[in-house]
Amino acid sequence: MSSPAHPAALFGPPARSEDLPPLLAAPARRAPRTAALCLSGTGRGSAQARAFTEHTLGHWRLDHCRDDALSIVSELVANALTHARPDPAAEHEVWLRLTLRTSHLVCAVSDPDSAVPTCRPASDDLDENGRGLRIVDALSEHWGWTRRALAGKTVWAMLPTRRRILDGGDGGRPKP
């Protein structure tokens, strides 16, 4: 089975943050398990991604994951908008997909560039760039990337959805 060449065929029609569905009207037991958004390939895409993520997590009652998820989504989208430009003069599509699994939230960003995402070596503490994937690594339980069939890649990160219980000696890690 071949994969579609265009991301819209993978995730559905493009959506904008202004066109978010009225998710809050649906009963909690019928909450969607996947939400996707086609972002503009401009700086405005980052704001769209944050608004969409915040709205979706609120609907899924994952407010306790909000800060980490927003940071991860912001870093993944910023990387896609900054580094994944086949033609710097052209606007390109970046897709954000949030998937709620039994015990994890998966934040995934797809872009048209096939270059492998890499963590830059730590350098000067005052550098303003190069920390995105390190932040993703620190906040997520797992992260990685997958090459898309015809072109591009998806970079994803998994967050646990269970609430954290802090007792001072566990570094904030969730208890079983």
Distance CA 156, CA 97 (A): 9
Distance CA 46, CA 145 (A): 20
Domain ranges for the chain, please list them. 32-120+129-160
**Per-residue confidence (pLDDT) for residue 150, from 0 to 100:** 82
The model's pTM: 0.70
**Per-residue confidence (pLDDT) for residue 24, from 0 to 100:** 38
- Please name the CATH architecture into which domain 32-120+129-160 falls: 2-Layer Sandwich (3.30)
Percent of the chain with pLDDT over 70: 61
Give the DSSP letter of residue 130: S
pLDDT tens figures, 38-92: 987 776 888 999 999 999 999 999 999 999 999 999 999 988 888 766 565 556 6
The encoded tokens of residue 8 equal 């819209």
Tell me the C-alpha to C-alpha distance, in Å, between residue 19 and each of 62, 69, 158: 21, 21, 26
**Per-residue confidence (pLDDT) for residue 125, from 0 to 100:** 60
**Per-residue confidence (pLDDT) for residue 122, from 0 to 100:** 62
Q: Are 169 and 78 in contact (CB under 8 A)?
A: no
